[in-house]
Amino acid sequence: ASSTVTFSSLPLELILEISDYLPRDGMLSLKLTSRFLHDAIPKGRLERTAPSPCARFAIRAYLTFTKPKPTHTRCILCKASYPHNQFSSYASPVHNSHPLDHDYPKVIEIPGRFCNLH
């Protein structure tokens, strides 16, 4: 009869040793995989490691995010909030493709969620 070894069946000392090599967000993810691991990995171990650049960016983005006004939309490129009419093609910059076409301006089509400044 063969027995299968799972991560949670490893000795606690080995689990703690492995978790020391994880970045803070990895250790938090490990704690959230099961109640056993949540209880086995002390909270103090999370505080000994610095957050990864990805986790720092996510935290900064979460803390600085403000919901735009109901009359505004957030541009997915510059992250600024503009009135809804700045996201329609009729408000986009007008360019003439040829100097003789000054009577027929061309409207640039704007992809969704991009403001007309881009």
pLDDT tens series, the chain, 118 aa: 567 888 888 898 998 898 888 888 888 888 888 888 888 888 887 777 777 787 777 777 766 766 767 888 888 778 788 888 887 765 555 544 555 555 555 666 667 777 777 6
Question: What whole-number distance in Å separates Cα of residue 107 and Cα of residue 116?
Answer: 11
pLDDT tens-digit profile of 8-42? 888 989 988 988 888 888 888 888 888 888 888 88
Q: How far is CA 52 from the centre of its chain?
A: 14
Tokens of 47: 């505080």
| Residue whose C-alpha is closest to residue 50's, from 31, 78, 25 | 25
Q: What is the pLDDT of residue 75?
A: 83
Residue 79 gets the label, from left (phi > 0), alpha (psi -120 to 50) or beta, of left
Residue 58 gets the label, from left (phi > 0), alpha (psi -120 to 50) or beta, of alpha
Q: Where are the domains of the chain?
A: 1-65, 66-117
Q: What is the pLDDT of residue 13?
A: 92
Q: What is the pLDDT of residue 90?
A: 59
Tokens of 31: 């704690």
Listed in sequence order, the residues at least 6 apart from 30 whose beta carbon sits closer than 8 Å to its beta carbon are 19, 22, 37, 41
Tokens of 39: 């209880």
